[in-house]
Amino acid sequence: MLMKWISSCARASLVAGALLLSLDAAADPAWRDGILLAGHDPIVDPVLRRLPGKVTGLGAANKAGRIYTLRLQPLGPKAAPPAPNELRGWRLTVLKGARFGYVFWVQSNTADAITVRSKDGSLNGMAEGDLFVVEELDPNPPPTSRRDNESAHRVA
Amino acid sequence: MWPKGVRPLLVAASLALAGTAWAQSAKLPADAVDGFHAALKRKDTGAALSHLDRGLVVFEFGTVDPTVESYALSHLPGDIDMAAISDWKLQARRLGGNGNERWVLSTYHVTGKLPNGKAIDQTTVETAIVRRVGGSFRIVHLHWSSDKDDFQSWAQTQQQRPAP
């Protein structure tokens, strides 16, 4: 009886552990060990300078209720805060959260905040914990990079 | 202008409509796959994401990205980098499935040059499962592998290394 009980407990612990691990992996992919080294990534030089980041908060809304500034925490093993306006003109793509897939262009930045230009729409709908990547592209970017999805921006 | 209670509803409605509008891009199952590759080639992260379903799971050279967010953060940049230095020529394709769930099997001849000067000349096979949501197909699953043993085993060796 005791052995049965111990065996049941051990099985339940294993199932719970596996569940927690999978939930953890799904909740914050940035910290899954080894994932950045998988596949072919390490043998190819980056074609773009990139800064992946996590939203730690949003700036105040303007009088119209629109938000254009987010506070960030750089992600990754070699992450460092950006220099002031280092990211100006770079493209910001949302990778996790309600605004997944949306694209903005950086107007200015400090070490811990990014302000996007207003003509691409506001950051409303983003929240603490959302993930994004900022990538250095042509300093004179097109109005939108979402050529496969231009109508989404009109609605936003 | 809008009463306070109405504003969140408008934002939610806008986001829902945006999602619907987003889904207009791939009318045929293969459009989602080809559109995704085209977006990688032109380094367009947002457009690449627009072809991916929120339930995406990626198997790539023995590794798993269990969520679309995980793939977007960890492997999508590498795939964009790889696409930039290589050409993917479609060699063969088969399509199947029915209703809203389809599969697209593709074989590519991939050529190019690595930064170390080594030539890329390999066959990459791709399994894509696509799902129709609204009027368009999006990729739910991708599985890539290569005919080059050294490349495959090298990639798998990298997974054993501790994170930097």
Query: What digits encode the pLDDT tens for the residues A86-107?
Result: 999 999 999 999 999 999 999 9
Residue B141: enclosing H or E segment and its boundaries?
strand B136-146
How far apart are the CA of A85 and the nearest CA of chain B, in angstroms? 22
Give the pLDDT confidence score for residue A135 in this predicted structure: 95
Q: Which of A117-131, B56-70, B139-153 has the lowest mean pLDDT?
A: B139-153
Residues B127, B93: Cα–Cα separation, whole Å:
10
Same domain, A64 and A32: no
Question: Considering only CB atoms, which chain B residues are within 8 Å of A42?
Answer: 158
Task: Give the type of residue at A140.
Answer: N
Asked if A134 and A121 touch (Cβ cutoff 8 Å), the reply is no
Determine whether the interchain pair A93/B49 forms a contact, defined as Cβ–Cβ distance below 8 Å. yes
* CB of B6 less than 8 A from some CB of A: no
Asked if B102 and B78 touch (Cβ cutoff 8 Å), the reply is no
Residues B82, B137: Cα–Cα separation, whole Å:
24
3-state DSSP call for residue B159?
helix
Residue A77 placed within a domain:
yes
Question: Considering only CB atoms, which chain B residues are within 8 Å of A133?
Answer: 45, 72-73, 77
Question: Considering only CB atoms, which chain B residues are within 8 Å of A96?
Answer: 69, 72-73
Same domain, A32 and A58: no
* Nearest residue of chain A to residue B61 (CA atoms): A39
Same domain, A60 and A26: no
Residue B15: pLDDT band with limits 50, 70, 90: very low
Same domain, A28 and A55: no
Give the pLDDT confidence score for residue A65 in this predicted structure: 96
Give the pLDDT confidence score for residue A41 in this predicted structure: 47
Q: How large is the ipTM? A: 0.76
Task: Give the domain B23-160 fold.
Answer: Nuclear Transport Factor 2; Chain: A, (3.10.450)
Question: Mind spelling out the 3-state secondary structure of chain A?
Answer: CHHHHHHHHHHHHHHHHHHHHHHHHHHCHHHCCCHHHCCCHHHCCCCCCEEEEEEEEECCCCCCCCCCEEEEEECCCCCCCCCCCCCCCCEEEEEECCCCCCEEEEEEECCCEEEECHHHCCCCCCCCCCEEEEECCCCCCCCCCCCCCHHHHHHC
Same domain, A70 and A145: yes
Say how far residue A78 (Cα) sits from the centre of its chain: 16
CB atoms within 10 A of CB B91: 12
Same domain, A70 and A126: yes
* Nearest residue of chain A to residue B155 (CA atoms): A39
Asked if B115 and A47 touch (Cβ cutoff 8 Å), the reply is no
Give the pLDDT confidence score for residue B8 in this predicted structure: 52
| pTM of the entire predicted model | 0.73
Query: What residue segments make up the domains of chain B, in order of their start?
Result: 23-160
Same domain, A31 and A56: no
Same domain, A33 and A57: no
Q: Which of A83-87, B25-29, B70-74 has the lowest mean pLDDT?
A: B25-29
Residues of chain A with pLDDT under 50: 9, 14-41, 144-156
Give the pLDDT confidence score for residue A19 in this predicted structure: 41
Give the pLDDT confidence score for residue A7 in this predicted structure: 55
* CB of B28 less than 8 A from some CB of A: no
Residue A42 placed within a domain:
no
Select from A25, A43, A156 the Cβ nearest to the Cβ of B114: A43
Angle, helix B76-84 to helix B29-41, in steps of 10 degrees: 70
Residues B53, B48: Cα–Cα separation, whole Å:
11
Give the pLDDT confidence score for residue A29 in this predicted structure: 38
* Nearest residue of chain B to residue A93 (CA atoms): B46
* Count of CA atoms in the C-beta half-sphere (13 A) of A62: 10
Select from A43, A47, A65 the Cβ nearest to the Cβ of B7: A65
Residues B62, B89: Cα–Cα separation, whole Å:
23
Select from B43, B46, B154 the Cβ nearest to the Cβ of A47: B43
Give the pLDDT confidence score for residue B116 in this predicted structure: 81
User: What pLDDT, in 10s, does the model give residues B107-124?
Assistant: 999 999 888 888 889 999
The CATH number assigned to the domain holding A106 equals 2.40.30
Residue A54 placed within a domain:
yes
Range of the domain at A108: 47-155
Average pLDDT over residues B77-86: 92
Asked if A113 and B10 touch (Cβ cutoff 8 Å), the reply is no
Give the pLDDT confidence score for residue A147 in this predicted structure: 42
Give the pLDDT confidence score for residue B103 in this predicted structure: 98
Among residues 118-157 of chain B, which lie with CB inside 8 Å of chain A? 151, 154-155
Determine whether the interchain pair A38/B60 forms a contact, defined as Cβ–Cβ distance below 8 Å. yes
Give the pLDDT confidence score for residue A47 in this predicted structure: 84
